[in-house]
Structure 1
Amino acid sequence: MRRLLVLAAVLLALQAQAEQRAVAVPPQATDARLGGDEPPHTVVYDPTLAEPLWVWLPGTHGRADAAHKALFQAVRDAGFRLVGLSYLDGEAVSQVCVGPRLRAHPACAAAFRQQRVWGDAPSAPIADRPEDAIVPRLTRLLRYLAAQDPEGQWASYLDGDEPRWSRIVLAGQSQGGGMAAYLAKTRAVAGVMMFSGGWDREPNGAPARWYRLPSATPPARWQATYNVREAQADLLADVYAALAIPPMQVHALDLPVVARQPHGDGIVNPSYAPLWRAMLDSLKPQP
């Protein structure tokens, strides 16, 4: 109940602008095959404005309707529509692709992410169904919104059977950041924002080789953060280098931590609002 009250307060605050709408969409409303107990997608937008879309992917055990008030407000102030996407995030690569499994299957991390993002990995180490995958979920959500609010311009974010990636910035924390990166490798999205975003490994401990694959999204359209106090700080720096993110677009956070752990501070600490805004401004789709 407390979570719902906090979310309601955040959505009411975000609705302060005259035409702004904030809605919660149960995933099952977009596809009857999805679980009825899943957290809702969060959608905040002004139907009168053709704004670019910012899609948020939470971290492991995170919720799309979590009340990241300061971050979400920065997104809206920067001129983006906001979709917090609910997906299966109850287990992470760092929990599954380790030990004997990783040694036996060095491409475990890539197969894990392929299944969770696209739903079509032939040897996935997780039991996600194709309809559970992130891209199908986002596509069905956009179709649902286009049908429910025809004047809200949601059809403009669709391109056939997929989202119109050129109008979409992907963002995520931890597992969600890694999912955003994996997707952006194969589709030219408007931009990527990674907050301590994933640390997939090779059996020898080095960053997983998929990070070094050619990217459909150019390096100039990536932004990334990590906290210097988090346990995986050095590996995250190596991961971002493997992704070829320009050093000026990698931000080592070092302000006093207000979150429970440094790992999550980059998305809840309002002191980083100027950085969020600079990152967002740099990733607005090119006209």
Structure 2
Amino acid sequence: MRIVVHSRLPKTTWQEKALLVLTPIVLAGLIFLGVCYDSGLYPAQRLRSLMAKHISARIFLALLLALFVEQLPLHAETEVLRIDPALTGPGIEMVHAPHLALYDPRAVPRHRLVLFLVGTRSKTTSNLEMDTILAQWGYHVISLDYENNVITVVCAHSSDPSAFTHYREEILSGASVSDEVEVDPANSILNRFRKLLVYLVRNDPSGGWEQFVHDGQPAWDRIIVAGHSQGSGHAAYIGQLFRVDRVLMFSGPQDYMDELHRPAPWLSRSSETPPSHFFAFLNLHDPFNVDHQIANCMALMHLTKPQPLMVSPGTSIVGTHQILVNDLPTKMHHNSTLFPDFENVWKYMLTTPLDN
């Protein structure tokens, strides 16, 4: 099922109000004059004389039309497709809500797809505002419904160094390796994503999805993998498995082994995506412990010393930084990284030049 979400518009201006009132009046007048001319009710010579005398009316009409043209771009629309996961392939089930797929036909295309993985027990719709903004920036966006009911920190007190690895592997691939989750191959993240892409290419031929598929598989080099909380760790794991454009992690990962006092071993292993292509956005007061999150990110990025940069809404970010931290005064510290206040940080993470 397809719905259309209108772009966020600025407060209605006096020009727009005038357009709403005067445009129908002017159009009706033009139609009336045309009818008079065609029917001979008003001699053509008399009409020309009238128009010549009323120069001010013609100037007003020209200004009105100019205002109308100027306001047209404000009404751009973002395409939002809601897809029942069960329609995309055999054995695939809906977990919480439909998959979301977004793009803006009027935006300058960036030829990149953002795959976003929400956090524990979250629905795809929970990130719709951010997804819509990214689509308006020219990105294709997919928010994937997946098996996310078991929180990541269930493994935090395990004495088994592979606990987090097996947790991630089963959710991503469906391999039966974890004692904490139960996900079959059909409902794994990788299968659900691949099947959704193929479905979109087939059922939305004008959407441009074919550029993100190669021989029936995701074209990973054109894909930005992002996630929040639990989803941030899945995004990082995918980045290790495949050479993606970049990895964006929001409020995570949480894969810190409390009993062993160190990040999970999988975080520091070799990666198909260069470590310099990983970016994280955290909150200083995150209840999941920002120090542990920074340690996890350092392992992923192969950094030897912390380099977090404190950021604020609306301020420019200069230089090369992979770990960004906010101190926004809010009760929702863990979700603050998804607040639209930080569009400046999202844009930096998406567009800062990469070291190849």
Q: What TM-score do the two structures reach when normalised by structure 2?
A: 0.69
- CA drift at 1:20: 3.9
Question: Contact conserved, 1:20 with 1:47, CA < 8 A, in 2?
Answer: yes
Question: What SS does the aligned partner of 2:256 have?
Answer: coil
Q: 1:82 to 1:38 in 2, by over 3 A?
A: same
- CA drift at 1:224: 0.4
324, 332, 337: which one aligns with 1:266: 337
Q: 1:155 to 1:285 in 2, by over 3 A?
A: farther
Q: 1:51 to 1:226 in 2, by over 3 A?
A: same
Aligned to 1:3: none
Separation in 1, partners of 2:168, 2:127:
26
- CA drift at 1:37: 6.1
Question: What SS does the aligned partner of 2:7 have?
Answer: helix
Aligned to 2:244: 189
- CA drift at 1:45: 1.2
- CA drift at 1:93: 2.3
Aligned to 2:207: 152
Aligned to 2:86: 28
Q: 5+ unaligned residues in a row in structure 2: which ranges?
A: 10-73, 308-320
Moved more, 248-257 or 275-284: 275-284
- CA drift at 1:165: 0.4
Q: 1:17 to 1:172 in 2, by over 3 A?
A: farther
Aligned to 1:239: 296
- CA drift at 1:50: 6.6
- CA drift at 1:205: 2.7
Question: Contact conserved, 1:135 with 1:162, CA < 8 A, in 2?
Answer: no
266, 272, 275: which one aligns with 1:219: 275
Question: What SS does the aligned partner of 1:66 have?
Answer: helix
- Map of 1:89-238 to 2, 5 A cutoff? 89-95=148-154, 97-99=155-157, 102-103=158-159, 105-123=160-178, 125-202=180-257, 203-231=259-287, 232-238=289-295
342, 347, 351: which one aligns with 1:277: 347
Residue identity opposite 2:343 in structure 1: A
1:170-220 alpha-carbon deviations (Å, 9 max, x no partner): 111100000000110111101111011222133413110111101111122
Aligned to 1:4: none
Q: Are 1:249 and 2:309 matched, yes or no?
A: no
Q: 1:230 to 1:46 in 2, by over 3 A?
A: closer
Q: 1:85 to 1:285 in 2, by over 3 A?
A: farther
**Higher RCO (C-alpha under 8 Å, 6+ residues apart):** 1
- CA drift at 1:14: 6.8
Q: Are 1:78 and 2:137 matched, yes or no?
A: yes
- CA drift at 1:19: 6.6
- CA drift at 1:254: 1.2
Aligned to 2:44: none
Separation in 1, partners of 2:243, 2:123:
26
1:4-28 alpha-carbon deviations (Å, 9 max, x no partner): xxxx79x333797647421111111
Separation in 2, partners of 1:200, 1:265:
20
Question: Contact conserved, 2:328 with 2:336, CA < 8 A, in 1?
Answer: no
Identity %: 27
Aligned to 2:25: none
Question: What SS does the aligned partner of 2:100 have?
Answer: strand
- CA drift at 1:30: 0.7
- CA drift at 1:98: 4.1
Question: Contact conserved, 1:191 with 1:283, CA < 8 A, in 2?
Answer: no
Q: 5+ unaligned residues in a row in structure 1: which ranges?
A: 1-7
Q: Mark the structure with the bigger radius of gyration.
A: 2
Separation in 2, partners of 1:63, 1:164:
25
Separation in 2, partners of 1:157, 1:124:
34
Separation in 2, partners of 1:285, 1:17:
38
